[in-house]
Amino acid sequence: MLYRKWGSKEDKVVTYTSSSREDVRILDKVKEVMKAHVIELFLSGNLSKEDARKLLQGINSFTKVDPSYEDVHEALEDHLIKTAGEAGGSIGLGRSRNDHVAAALRLEIREELMDLLEQLLDFRKMILKRAEENVNTPFVVYTHFQPAQPTTFGHYLLYVEEEVASRWSSIFRTLDLVNRSPLGSGAIVGTSVKLNRDRESNLLGFREVLVNTISATSSRADLISAVMEVVNLMLALSRVVEDMILLSSKFVGILELPDTHVSTSSLMPQKRNAVTMEVLRARVSRVLGYLTSIASTYKSLPSGYNLDLQEINPLFWEIIDETRTGIEVLHDLLSKVKVNEFKIDKEVLSTDEAEILAEKGMRYRDAYFAVAKAVREGKFSPTITPEQSIYRKAVKGSPSPERVRESISLARERLNGDENLLREYKNWTLKGEGELRLMENDILQEGN
């Protein structure tokens, strides 16, 4: 232990508060933040180039977090004190674990979100490809889980794509909230050391500085906003998962799931249980629980840093990991799921018949009641087929093949635009990271 002189490594109370095991997730980002701090100390005239070189070498040699330390920050500082000689004694100047962990968390979540968005782009491409393949594949949609009207599987898949595209945009917008630098804010009120916070921010590829030092060190609202949107994505996908389970049931039998996504019973050999979707459905509940735990912890804290905040960090990663795994599984299933041939109940054409009567001059509500009476009495006999019903749909976004192809084209334009947005954002962060590498290399080469 470096900071806390009471207790011992074997003291259970001390180990109880340690986050060292969980901090492995942000180890690389902690090192990046420390490098930016060392470079800024040098550039602001608070550290000699020789000392900066020794410290950067020490940071690069730090590869493992000893769980006996309170956290990765304490472990890294102690490592630098031991490996960089007297230079190690300067590493604590103008910094706190509070602003450093806040910066590392933002860097890690920024990267995780960009990777998730990239994965979602691939998912959407697959969905659009499958929608194009199924423009004319008969399908039935439900309201209240009762057969409602005929459509096509391509039309259904475009619903999935649009839901994911909307969630993509929501997650992307949170990047600007996350991508703000808290570095240089110290423990809560900054430091008397004249650090250039904007320069530190640029070195780490942040968009801007999170200005107020209290907010910078103790707020997690931006990170919570980001994972809320990730959970919202999972909520949307959960409804698709539910469709896959129900529509592949023998009671309905519209869909056939890939063999790799079903499992038989240990007793009943005829079963094709939708096991991957059942697990995914449960894990959506799990991430919702993680979000509830984060919110419950966060809402009861006074301003300023509290150690409770470290307890929500692992939940961020759990939400993101479960989401990425879930998308991978659903991607595989939707790329292979088949629509079975099935008989469409003629009653799903009731609305079409009422509209046809209205087109012939009858008031729609009168036509509605006439069709409803025929259905109740078992005398309903539609004048069109389900295929004709689909082709009759005139409005934008409906299942007629012409409209579906139009929707696919619009969705591809939107997807291409999203690809460009993400590429530009990644290039921005890489530019900052490139400047840090250049500065680091310049300082390290001085000693060669």
In tens digits, what is the pLDDT along the chain, a chain of 448 residues? 666 555 555 666 778 888 989 999 999 999 999 999 999 999 999 999 999 999 999 999 999 999 889 999 999 999 999 999 999 999 999 999 999 999 999 999 999 999 999 999 999 999 999 999 999 999 999 999 999 999 999 999 999 999 999 999 999 999 999 999 999 999 999 999 999 999 999 999 999 999 999 999 999 999 999 999 999 999 999 999 999 999 999 999 999 999 999 998 888 888 899 999 999 999 999 999 999 999 999 999 999 999 999 999 999 999 999 999 999 999 999 999 999 998 899 999 999 999 999 999 999 999 999 999 999 999 999 999 999 999 999 999 999 999 999 999 999 999 999 999 999 999 999 998 899 999 999 999 965 5
What is Dmax (Cα atoms) for the chain? 94
Residue 399 belongs to some domain of the structure: no
Q: How many CA atoms lie within 13 A of 338 on its CB side?
A: 6
Return the ∠ at Cα 71 (arms to 67 and 74), rounded to 5°.
Answer: 105
Is residue 140, in this structure, part of any structural domain at all? Answer: yes
- Do residues 319 and 290 lie in contact, with contact meaning Cβ atoms separated by under 8 Å? yes
Q: At what angle do helices 97-133 and 308-336 cross, to 10 degrees?
A: 10
Q: What is d(CA 191, CA 275) in angstroms, rounded to the nearest whole number? A: 55
Same domain, 282 and 137: yes
Same-domain pairing of 139 and 61? no
**Which CATH number fits the domain that encloses residue 103?**
1.20.200.10
Could you give the CA distance from residue 343 to residue 420 in angstroms, rounded to a whole number? 44
Q: Does one domain contain both 60 and 180?
A: no
pLDDT of residue 420: 98
Indicate whether 88 and 227 sit together in one domain. Answer: no
The residue range of the domain holding 363 is: 346-392
**Residues 46 and 107 reside in one and the same domain:** no
Q: What is the pLDDT of residues 425-438, one digit of tens each?
A: 999 999 988 999 99
Instruction: Say yes or no: 62 and 146 in one domain.
Output: no
Cβ–Cβ under 8 Å, residues 204 and 40? no
Q: What is the pLDDT of residue 446?
A: 61
Question: pLDDT at position 288, please?
Answer: 98
Are 280 and 373 members of one domain? Answer: no
Identify whether 45 is part of a domain.
yes
| Tokens 């940071």 found at | 59
Three-state DSSP class for residue 86 = helix
Spell out the residues 6+ positions from residue 232 whose beta carbon is closer than 8 angstroms to its own.
167, 170
- Asked whether the beta carbons of 178 and 109 are under 8 A apart, the reply is yes
Contact 181, 99 (CB under 8 A): no
* pLDDT tens digits along 182-192: 999 999 999 99
Same-domain check for residues 331 and 318? yes
Q: How many domains does the chain have?
A: 3
* Confidence (pLDDT) at 334: 98
Q: What pLDDT was estimated at residue 5?
A: 54
Verify that 151 and 236 share a domain, yes or no. yes
Asked if 354 and 367 touch (Cβ cutoff 8 Å), the reply is: yes
Domain boundary among 72, 93, 114: 93
Residues in the chain: 448
Q: Which residue type, as a one-letter code, is found at position 131? A: A
Shared domain for 385 and 424, answered yes or no, is no
Q: What letter represents residue 355's amino acid?
A: E
Q: Is residue 208, in this structure, part of any structural domain at all?
A: yes
Are 264 and 185 in the same domain? yes
pLDDT score of 161: 98
Residue type at 141 in one-letter notation: V
Contacts of 363 by beta carbon, 8 Å cutoff, 6+ apart: none
107 close to 99: Cβ distance less than 8 angstroms: no
Say which residues have a Cβ less than 8 Å from residue 317's Cβ, sequence separation at least 6.
25, 112
Report pLDDT for 267: 86
Do 288 and 418 belong to one domain? yes
CA distances from 13 to 6, 8, 23, 68, 167 (A): 11, 9, 18, 12, 42
